[in-house]
Structure 1
Amino acid sequence: MKKYNSGAPTGVISYQYGAGYISILFEGGHTYTYTYQSAGKVHVEQMKRLADAQKGLNTYINQHHPVFAEKR
């Protein structure tokens, strides 16, 4: 997983993504995986962009409530 370094407390520790999904590790220790099937392509691709930009990922999730496919 890639470390998420926004420079501010965000609740996100790290992330990884591939074709059709993004997995995000949160400070609580749980990893949530969002897929095209669960959250939709638009949400997954936007979360990928925000993750790479290191800004706004947790805010986006809290505002849009995309459905996750898996919680570990």
Structure 2
Amino acid sequence: MVMQRYSNLNGESGVAAFEIGADYIIVRFANGDAYRYDIASTGRAHVETMKKLARAGRGLSTFISQHVRNRYAERVSSRISS
């Protein structure tokens, strides 16, 4: 999969890009850090919500900070280019 630019419809998101897989989402933040959230670390319901928010381009950063926090599977910044 390829990272997609986050639409950022509110204009103030900390999310820059994302990649969606069958059972995970990778989120790259504006500071360059990227994290993989999967069903084992984050839970299926949260991952599916994050996928919907990423596609919609609104609310992903807020959802992560309010519901997911640091429950990511791994930090993957070194694998992802800008």
Task: Tell me the TM-score range normalised by the shorter chain.
Answer: over 0.9
Matches within 5 A, 1:44-55: 44-55=47-58
- % same residue: 42
TM-score, structure 1 as length reference: 0.94
Structure 1 residues without counterparts, runs of 5 or longer: none
Q: Is 1:17 the equivalent of 2:20?
A: yes
Equivalent-residue separation in structure 2 for 1:20 and 1:52 (angstroms):
15
Segments ≥4 residues shifted beyond 6 Å: none
Equivalent-residue separation in structure 1 for 2:49 and 2:30 (angstroms):
21
Q: Is 1:70 the equivalent of 2:74?
A: yes
Counterpart position of 2:79: none
Structure 2 residues without counterparts, runs of 5 or longer: 77-82
Counterpart position of 1:6: 8
Aligned length, in residue pairs: 72
Aligned-pair Cα RMSD in Å:
1.0
Equivalent-residue separation in structure 1 for 2:44 and 2:25 (angstroms):
11
Equivalent-residue separation in structure 2 for 1:9 and 1:69 (angstroms):
25
Equivalent-residue separation in structure 2 for 1:16 and 1:27 (angstroms):
15
SS of the residue 2:25 aligns to? strand
